Amino acid sequence: MRDIILSDYLFKKLVEYFYKETGISLKEYKKYLVEHRLSRFIGEGSRFRDFNEFYNALIEDKTGELKSILIQSLTTNWTYFFRENIHFEFLKEYLRENWDKQRYIRLWSAGCSTGEEAYSMAIVSKEVIPEIEKIDFRILATDISLKVLNFAINGVYNYSKIKTSIEDHTLKRYFICIFRFILPPISELSCH
């Protein structure tokens, strides 16, 4: 374990910077989380000797690299399909009552992480609105983490992660299942 400590003063400065850049407020009890997640960049054999050096480099960085490292390190990016089901029940009800009264429909999945919630919105909308492709309908999915956005854009999810949150009939209707088998090298195959 590294013997590098994040001072209260520097924690406050990092929290202020993080809030200014992301709009995310970190409470005092998150100090350990910040210290822990940034510790891989701090200390002997690492890029920065201490948190002070990291913070100074962050403030001086014109490339955005350290800002990106900070954001990637301090955001959780945790989601799953149909997370907070009450929101999707509300969306269903709203769309049932209003879809035909709107000139266009725009939905926004802010903090979409790896995209499961935005895809869930699309599934709900497709289920509720007949011939959805004939109306002006869009879903905007955003996140401050480029890493998770790239994952969301690809839209490839491991079955073991989604099988508990999506019913079989929904899986069959809206997902393409691809099975990947890992075979041994040809030299190791034998035919009898």
Q: How far apart are CA 121 and CA 96, in angstroms?
A: 14
**pLDDT 10s digits, 10-30:** 999 999 999 999 888 999 999
Per residue in 63-121, pLDDT (tens digit) is 999 998 999 899 887 888 998 889 999 999 999 999 999 889 999 998 889 999 999 99
Domain extents for the chain?
8-74, 85-174
Instruction: Give the separation between CA 169 and CA 172, rounded to whole angstroms.
Output: 5
The superfamily (CATH) of domain 85-174 is: Vaccinia Virus protein VP39 (3.40.50.150)
CATH 1.10.155 fits 8-74, yes or no: yes
Question: Could you tell me the pTM of the whole model?
Answer: 0.69
| Statement: residue 188 has pLDDT above 50 | no
